[in-house]
Structure 1
Amino acid sequence: MRVKSERRRQAIVAAAAEVFLERGYEIASMAEIAERSGGSKATLYSYFSSKEALFLVVMKQQAEEYMVEAFGRLSPGGDLAATLQKFGEHYLNAILLPELLIMRSIVMGEGPRSGMGRVFFDSGPAQGWGQLAQFLEGEMAAGRLRPAKPWRAALHLINLLEADFLEFFMTGFEQKPAAEQIVESAREAVRMYLHGYSPAPLPCAADV
């Protein structure tokens, strides 16, 4: 793709992000996005076949921008508790950003009515959680975590990290939780996780 064409595409994506965040998915129009990007609807449709296709690009770009650093904290071979703590803090700081909360709510609302949820999951969370699963599998092989299904182990950690903020996700409080609350929530989630996945056998623990 030529530089000029890529610049135009990025201008459209940036304008679309603004419109989706301000208006939501249903009310957002391709006409307004075209106007804000400084082009025509015909130009917009030459890059993106539909509003859904454009939204998925915006969502993926937003997620990558904020989540890459979090999953990049997963360095094998170091202090496992410290690594998971840093990961947890960066993960929570990213998913609690207003931009990602809005995008998440749009996907949850539109997903059941279309294939948007599946496409978003496959191109976003599934990739990041896959990295986490791969990291945890390495820690299991090294004997620092008990053997388990890596994907399930990744989901357990993600859900523990998000547990304190379920109401926040559902109600969309205007104020992001304080930094101290995020650190404490991550610490407690990691503590519970390492207890559950301790390599030492736990009484009555089900074999996964």
Structure 2
Amino acid sequence: MATEVFLERGYEATSMSEIATRVGGSKATLYNYFASKEELFLVVMKGWAQERMMQAFGSLVPGGDLAVTLQTFGEHFLKNVLTPDLLVVRGIVMGEGPRSGMGKMFLENGPALGWEQLAGFLEGEMEAGRLRPGKPLRAALHLINLLEADFLELFITGVADLPGDEQIVESVTEAVRVFLHGYSKTR
């Protein structure tokens, strides 16, 4: 229920009283579990985002066709990252983050965990000789940024409509091609 309230109303407009009312409990009970609205937001959004991204990061299986694996990962990743509700969450964190520790806590407990998982996969591919040696976390961030490059800013700002599956496939194909051009051992 708290997730829905944050997504509907945004962080600032959401109150602990409203969340307590929606879940059918008291505000005091809510504060027994969470010290602040910020803590509740982070816990709720972390679980929600992890559930959404599990499929994408779960597709990173070592030893197969690397281009196909990265394509599958990229498509799952973008289909989750570009949902309207996840864009709302990112907007909340970006807006609130500079005023509090929320941005850092969200980053460390959400996206950074995925980046580390991707970095671990890429490190294995580097060690197996399928990618040139390098800094795995930097490579992971390069890939994430290439995947998001065509869409993210446009959708966070509301300038463009969400892409269809065909646009996502095309964009991911190009991002993977550029990534492998930079990181392939055979270049």
The two structures have a TM-score, normalised by structure 1, of 0.87
Residue 185 (1) aligns with residue 159 (2): no
Partner of 2:14: 28
Alignment of 1:157-172 (within 5 A): 157-172=143-158
Distance 1:126 1:54 in 2: 19
Distance 2:51 2:13 in 1: 25
Distance 2:50 2:100 in 1: 23
Q: 1:96 aligns with which of 73, 82, 88?
A: 82
The two structures have a TM-score, normalised by structure 2, of 0.96
* Post-superposition offset of 1:62: 1.4
Partner of 2:54: 68
**1:141-197 deviation digits (Å, cap 9, x = unpaired):** 111111110010000000000000133343135842111111111111001100111
Contact 2:155 2:162 in 1 (8 A): no
Distance 1:177 1:195 in 2: 25
Unaligned runs of 5+ residues in structure 2 are none
Distance 1:47 1:173 in 2: 39
Contact 2:87 2:156 in 1 (8 A): no
1:174–1:35 distance in 2 versus 1, CA, 3 Å: farther
Distance 2:106 2:57 in 1: 18
SS at 1:164's partner residue? coil
1:39–1:174 distance in 2 versus 1, CA, 3 Å: farther
Residue 86 (1) aligns with residue 62 (2): no
Identical counterparts, % of pairs: 71
**Larger of the two Rg values belongs to structure:** 1
Q: What residue identity is the alignment partner of 2:32?
A: S
Unaligned runs of 5+ residues in structure 1 are 1-14, 202-208
Partner of 2:136: 150
Residue 127 (1) aligns with residue 105 (2): no
Q: What residue identity is the alignment partner of 2:183?
A: Y
Give the root-mean-square deviation of aligned CA atoms.
1.2
**1:6-61 deviation digits (Å, cap 9, x = unpaired):** xxxxxxxxx21111111100011111111001111111111111100000011101
Q: What residue identity is the alignment partner of 1:143?
A: G
Contact 1:101 1:172 in 2 (8 A): no
